[in-house]
C-alpha cells in the first residue's frame, strides 16, 4: 500500500496543497521545500496515480502539443515557448508528431479523450480535411488552442502570424531589389497559412507593373526529390525567374541546392527570400533573407491562452485570433 | 454508456483482436478494414479507455522518448527513426524535453510510473547525476533503452555511436590537413559521449608530433553568449588554434559566428570540423565538415530493442551496447 499525499503533508508538517504543488514542480513553491518533499517521497516510495485521479475527474497535469514535425526550426522554437509557460504552471508537455498525416493526427487526438491530457495545442497536418476529431475534443471539454496551422472551423482561440501581409511584403521587397519575374514555392494546396502567404504574393504582383502572367506558383510537397526536380525544371526554363519566395524553410533550402547544382548564382542571377525561423540563416552561403516568424512568442501565447482556460471551471475558449507579426530580415540572398 | 469493443466486433463481424489492432492503426490490418472500423467508431461514439485498461494491468500503447532538446538535428532525426518503428507496432510516441535539467528529467520519469507509458527511450540530461529515477523504472517493470547519452549504471541495452574513435579520427583528419594547434570545444564535463569524443582527441594529440601542451580543451555550456565570449578569447589569443573540433552542433556554429566576428577565415586561418547531423551543413559558408552520427538508425535500433522487450511477458532487457559508427564527411571548412 503506497503512502497518500495527505500522510506526506502530515509527516512534513506542510499543507496538502503545498505538497501537491511541490510534486508538480510548481514555481509557487520554494526550491528548499521542493527538495524536502522530493527527498521524502523518494524515501517513502510515494507514487502519484494519474489514472485513478483521472477516473475521479481530476486532472492529468499534462498538455499535448500536436504538430507536423520538429525538424523545422519554427516548430522546435514554438515548443520552447510552450514549455516555458507550462513549466511555470507545473504541467508536463507531451509532444506528438503527425508528419503531415491526417490519419495519424486523428489517431493521436482520439487518444486524448479519456483524461490523458487536460488540453491541447495543435498545428494541424497539411492534409487534414476531416476535422471531426478536432470538434470532438471541444465537445468533450478538452480545450484546444491552434497555432500557426489553424483549423478555422473549430470555435476556439488561435495564434497566427500575419502571413498574408508577409507574402505581400516579401514580394514587394524582391521587386524593390529589381526582380521582374518572381516564383512562389508553395507547399500543398489546402493549408490556410500557405494560402495566405500565396494570396499576399498574388496581390503584390497584381498591384505591381510586373506581368501578371509571370505570376508563377510551384506546388511542392514533403517529397524532397520530387520538389528538387520541379524546382530544377522551373530554373532550367528559358524564362526562368529572377526571384524566389520559399513558403517554408525546407523548400527554401531545396531551392539553394538546385541553384548550386545548376550553377545559378544567388543573389546575382536569382534572389531568394524564405519563411523560416532558422537560427543559422546568417551562416548560409549566401546568408538567407528571411521572413522570421515569432515562433517562441506564438508558442508562449497559445500556451497562455490554454492555461487561462484550464484554470477556470468552464474550460470553453472563446473564438479569438491573435496575430503576432513576423519580421523581414534582409541578408545576402537578396543582394 | 459507451459501446464496447466486443460489440463493435460483433456489429462489424470482425474478430475482437482485429478491431483492437485497427484502432491502434496496426500495420497488420488492411487500410480497408481500418477505414470500416474508424468510420463505425466515429458513428457510434466509441472511446477507448486507457486508464481503465491500465488499472487492469493492460498496456497504454504509448512509449516515451525523453531527450534534452529538439533544436539539435541529431535528436529530431533520432525521433524519426523511433517513430518509424513505433508506427509499425501501432504505438504512440510521446516526446518529453528535459532541456538538460536533471530535476526536470526526474519529474518526467517519475510520472511514468503508473502505466502512462509502456517503455521509454532516454537520452539523459547532461547534468544528470542522481540516477535513482532511472533505476526505479527498471524495478517497476517499465523497460528502458538508452541512446546516445546513456546512463551506464543502469542494467539495460543502449545504442551509441563510436564517439571515441570519431574524436580520434577528427583530430587525425585536422592534422592531415596541416593543423598544428587544435582546440576541442567540449560541452559540460560529465556527459559520457562528450568524454569519449574528448579522450579520442587527447589520444590522437598524444600519438602525434604535436606538442601535447597545445592540447586545448574549452568547456562550454548551454549559455550561447558565454560560450561565444570564451571562444572569442581563445581565438583572440596570440597562440590561437588553427583547427577546431566542435563536440556538438551548437558549439560548432557558435565557432563560425566568432570567426565571422573576428574576421578569421575558415578554412584559410582555421579549419573546423563538427559533430553534427545538420541537414544543411553543405549550405553553410563555408560548407561544414562533419562527423555525422547515424541518428535515424540509432533511434530505429533503440526503438526496436524496446519493442522486442514489450512483446515479451518478461520485459527485462539484458545489458548490451550496440555501436553504430558515424561517418566523417569532408567539406569546405577543413580546406
CATH code, domain with A258? 3.40.50.2300
- B290: cell is 562533419
Locus of grid cell 514549455? A83
Output the pLDDT for position B179.
Answer: 95
- Do A230 and A134 share a structural domain? no
Mean pLDDT in chain B?
A: 88
Which tens digit of pLDDT belongs to each residue from A300-309? 999 999 999 9
Q: CB neighbours of B308 closer than 8 A, spacing ≥ 6?
A: none
pTM recorded for the entire structure: 0.81
H or E segment and range at residue A232: helix A224-236
The residues with which B62 forms a beta bridge, in sequence order, are: B92
CB contact under 8 A, A132 and B69: no
At B21, is the pLDDT very low, low, confident or very high (cuts 50, 70, 90)? confident
Residues A151 and A193 in one domain: no
In a domain, residue A334? The reply is no
Q: What span, in angstroms and rounded, lies between the C-alpha atoms of A218 and B309?
A: 47
Decide if the complex's ipTM is over 0.85: no
What total number of domains does chain B contain?
A: 3
User: Which of A328, A321, A313, A319 has the alpha carbon at shortest distance from A57?
Assistant: A313
Banded pLDDT at A123 (limits 50, 70, 90): very high
Judged by CB atoms closer than 8 Å, whether chains meet at B76 and A94 is answered as no
Same domain for B204 and B246, yes or no, is yes
Same domain? A228 vs A83: no
Alpha helices in chain A (DSSP H): 5-12, 16-23, 31-44, 50-55, 73-88, 102-110, 132-139, 163-176, 192-207, 224-236, 249-261, 295-310
B171 and B284 co-located in one domain: yes
Confirm if A41 and A23 have CB atoms less than 8 A apart: yes
The string of pLDDT tens digits covering residues B53-92 is 333 345 778 899 999 988 788 998 999 999 989 988 888 8
C-alpha distance from B297 to closest chain A C-alpha (Å): 16
Residue A50: its chain B contacts at CB < 8 A?
Answer: 111, 114, 116
**Predicted local confidence at residue B57, as pLDDT:** 45
More confident of the two residues A32 and B213: A32
Whether the pLDDT of residue B277 is over 50: the answer is: yes
Residue B197 and residue B91 share a domain: no
Q: Calculate mean pLDDT across residues B135-158.
A: 90
Residues B252-276: what's their mean pLDDT? Answer: 97
Residue of A280, A286, A331 to mutate, testing the B interface (most B Cβ within 10 Å of its Cβ): A280
Average pLDDT, chain A: 88
CB atoms A279 and B71 under 8 Å: yes
Is the pLDDT higher at B221 or at A30? B221
H or E element at residue A292? strand A289-292
Strand A327-329 with A289-292, pairing: antiparallel
Residue A324 has pLDDT above 80, yes or no: yes
- pLDDT of B292 > 60? The answer is yes
Per-residue pLDDT reduced to its tens digit, B168-223:
999 999 999 999 999 999 987 778 899 999 999 999 999 998 876 666 899 999 89
pLDDT in tens, A165-213: 999 999 999 999 999 999 999 987 778 899 999 999 999 999 998 876 6
A119 in the same domain as A263: no
Contact (CB<8Å) B69/A76 = yes
| Interchain contact, A96 vs B97, CB within 8 Å | no
Q: Is pLDDT at B51 greater than 50 in this prediction?
A: no
Q: What's the confidence (pLDDT) of residue B45?
A: 63
Same domain, A189 and A304: no
- What is the predicted pLDDT for the residue at A51? 40
Query: What pLDDT score does A50 carry?
Result: 43
B3 contacts on A by Cβ (under 8 Å): none
Contact A286 B285 (CB under 8 A): yes
Question: What confidence tens digit (pLDDT) does each residue in A129-178 have?
Answer: 788 888 888 778 899 999 999 998 899 999 999 999 999 999 999 999 99
Query: Is the backbone peptide bond immediately before A323 cis, with ω within 30 degrees of 0?
Result: no
Given a cut of 50, whether residue A1 has pLDDT beyond it is no
Residue B97 maps to a domain? yes
pLDDT of residue B212: 66
Minimal Cα–Cα distance from B50 to chain A, Å?
7
Taking residues B280-306, what's their average pLDDT? 96
Question: By C-alpha distance, which of B283, B186, B98, B270 is closest to A333?
Answer: B283
CA distance A308 to chain B (A): 23
Q: Which of A219, A242, A239 is nearest to A231 (CA)?
A: A219
Chain B residues touching residue A256 (CB < 8 angstroms): 280, 283
Task: Give a yes or no: residue B120 inside a domain.
Answer: yes
Q: Is residue B33 part of a domain?
A: yes
Provide mean pLDDT across the span A117-134: 88
Q: Which residue of A has its CA nearest to B280?
A: A253
Is B54 domain-assigned? no
In a domain, A248, yes or no: yes
Give the domain extent around A128.
59-161+295-325
The answer to whether residue A330 sits within a structural domain is no
The verdict on B110 and B193 lying in the same domain is no
| Residues A303 and A203 reside in one and the same domain | no
Rounded (10°) CA dihedral A11, A16, A17, A21: 40
Q: Is residue A335 part of a domain?
A: no
Band (pLDDT 50/70/90 cuts) for residue A57 is: very low
Residues B115, B78, single domain; the answer is: yes
Mutate to test the interface with B, among A30, A51, A266 (most CBs of B within 10 A): A51
pLDDT surpasses 50 at A101: yes
Which grid coordinates are listed for A125?
Answer: 497536418
Q: Which pLDDT does position A308 carry in this prediction? A: 92
Closest listed residue to residue A147, CA positions, set A326, A322, A328? A322
Could you tell me the pLDDT band of residue A281, with boundaries at 50, 70 and 90?
very high
Residues B282 and B177 in one domain: yes
Q: What is the Cα–Cα distance from A170 to B265, expressed in whole angstroms?
A: 32
Amino acid at each position: 500500500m503506497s503512502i497518500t499525499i495527505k500522510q506526506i503533508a502530515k509527516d512534513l508538517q506542510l499543507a496538502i496543497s503545498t505538497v501537491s504543488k511541490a510534486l508538480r514542480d510548481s514555481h509557487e513553491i520554494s526550491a528548499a521545500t521542493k527538495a524536502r518533499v522530493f527527498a521524502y517521497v523518494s524515501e517513502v516510495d510515494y507514487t502519484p496515480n494519474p489514472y485513478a485521479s483521472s477516473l475521479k475527474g481530476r486532472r492529468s497535469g499534462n498538455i499535448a502539443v500536436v504538430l507536423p514535425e520538429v525538424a523545422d526550426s519554427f516548430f522546435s522554437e514554438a515548443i520552447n515557448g510552450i514549455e516555458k509557460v507550462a513549466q511555470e504552471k507545473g504541467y508536463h508537455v507531451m509532444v506528438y508528431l503527425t508528419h503531415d498525416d491526417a490519419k495519424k493526427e486523428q489517431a493521436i487526438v482520439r487518444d486524448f479523450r479519456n483524461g490523458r491530457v487536460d488540453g491541447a495545442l495543435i498545428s494541424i497536418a497539411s492534409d487534414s480535411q476531416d476535422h471531426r476529431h478536432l470538434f470532438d475534443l471541444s465537445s468533450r471539454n478538452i480545450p484546444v488552442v491552434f497555432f500557426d496551422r489553424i483549423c478555422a472551423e473549430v470555435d476556439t482561440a488561435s495564434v497566427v502570424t500575419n502571413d498574408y501581409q508577409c507574402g505581400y511584403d516579401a514580394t514587394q521587397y524582391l521587386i524593390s531589389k529589381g526582380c521582374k519575374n518572381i516564383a512562389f514555392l508553395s507547399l500543398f494546396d489546402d493549408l490556410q497559412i500557405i494560402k495566405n502567404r500565396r494570396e499576399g504574393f498574388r496581390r503584390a504582383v497584381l498591384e505591381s507593373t510586373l506581368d501578371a502572367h509571370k505570376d508563377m506558383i510551384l506546388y511542392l510537397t514533403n517529397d524532397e526529390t520530387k520538389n528538387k526536380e520541379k524546382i530544377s525544371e522551373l530554373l532550367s526554363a528559358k524564362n526562368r525567374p529572377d526571384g524566389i519566395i520559399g513558403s517554408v524553410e525546407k523548400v527554401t533550402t531545396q531551392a539553394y541546392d538546385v541553384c548550386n547544382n545548376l550553377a545559378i548564382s544567388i543573389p546575382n542571377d536569382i534572389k531568394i527570400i524564405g519563411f523560416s525561423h532558422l537560427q543559422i540563416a546568417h551562416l548560409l552561403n549566401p546568408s538567407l533573407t528571411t521572413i522570421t516568424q515569432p515562433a517562441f512568442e506564438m508558442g508562449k501565447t497559445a500556451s497562455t491562452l490554454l492555461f487561462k482556460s484550464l484554470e477556470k471551471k468552464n474550460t470553453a475558449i472563446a473564438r479569438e485570433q491573435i496575430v503576432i507579426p513576423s519580421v523581414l530580415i534582409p541578408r545576402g540572398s537578396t543582394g
